[in-house]
């Protein structure tokens, strides 16, 4: 309870993002090597993300698509990169395996280097979103119980409206990891008065 109260108080400390109707799709860690570890909901999740990245709907458009996946320099560099470099071998800069999945490479997307579990930590993501005047972030990608969870927390704490796209997230830890991540998200955000909501892509996206 104390942790939850402390977490909710964070919103008072940081400036809110001005409310706008501009939206962003944030695609988390959909690199070749990280996707290799995904088995649970693999086809469904990829199909949803691909649909949203290559959005041809005339009824709903994202103002910006952001690709944020691990892209780390691990030789003689300070934190935040060196911290994660010590526990994982993925995301090494300029390696083919660390690149975005080929089928998701929309040339109109903006790439933001990811340095930690949260896409915001030590990165230019917040500045990029503010420059585009974004008020609402739709989040897809992996892993529900790690980077998705951390990024949702940081997005909410910075004042964005967050939409977690349920059919667009999954975990390398399978059903247990995915459900654990959802449980954590709901435990923190079910009472945030609409700032964080959970929905499927079919709730807001229709082709044609």
pTM of the full structure: 0.89
- Residue 27's DSSP bridge partners are 67, 140
- Residue 80's pLDDT is 65
Spatial strand order of the sheet with 196-199 comes to: 110-111, 64-68, 23-28, 136-142, 161-170, 196-199
Q: What does the pLDDT look like over 97-152, one tens digit per residue?
A: 999 999 999 999 999 999 999 999 999 999 999 999 999 999 999 999 999 999 99
Does residue 24 surpass a pLDDT of 80?
yes
For 60-97, what is each residue's pLDDT tens digit?
889 999 999 999 888 766 666 667 888 888 889 989 99
**Span 156-179, mean pLDDT?**
98
Which CATH fold would you assign to the domain 2-201? Rossmann fold (3.40.50)
What residue segments make up the domains of the chain, in order of their start?
2-201
Q: How far is CA 8 from CA 5, 11, 147, 159, in A?
A: 5, 6, 20, 12
């Amino acid at each position: 309870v104390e942790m939850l109260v402390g977490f909710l108080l964070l919103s008072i400390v940081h400036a809110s993002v001005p409310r706008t109707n501009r939206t962003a799709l944030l695609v988390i860690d959909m690199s070749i090597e990280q996707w290799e570890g995904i088995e649970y909901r693999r086809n469904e999740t990829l199909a949803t993300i691909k649909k949203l990245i290559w959005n041809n709907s005339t009824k709903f458009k994202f103002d910006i698509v952001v690709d944020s996946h691990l892209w780390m320099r691990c030789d003689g560099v300070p934190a935040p990169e060196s911290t994660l470099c010590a526990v994982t071998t993925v995301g090494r800069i300029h390696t083919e395996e660390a690149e975005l999945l080929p089928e998701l490479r929309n040339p109109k997307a903006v790439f933001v280097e990811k340095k930690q579990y949260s896409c915001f930590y030590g990165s230019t993501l917040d500045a990029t979103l503010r420059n585009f005047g974004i008020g609402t972030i739709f989040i897809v990608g992996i892993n529900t119980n790690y980077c998705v969870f951390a990024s949702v927390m940081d997005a909410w704490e910075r004042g964005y409206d967050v939409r977690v796209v349920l059919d667009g997230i999954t975990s390398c830890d399978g059903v247990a990891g995915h459900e654990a991540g959802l449980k954590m998200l709901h435990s923190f955000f079910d009472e945030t008065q609409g700032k964080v909501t959970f929905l499927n892509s079919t709730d807001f996206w229709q082709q044609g």
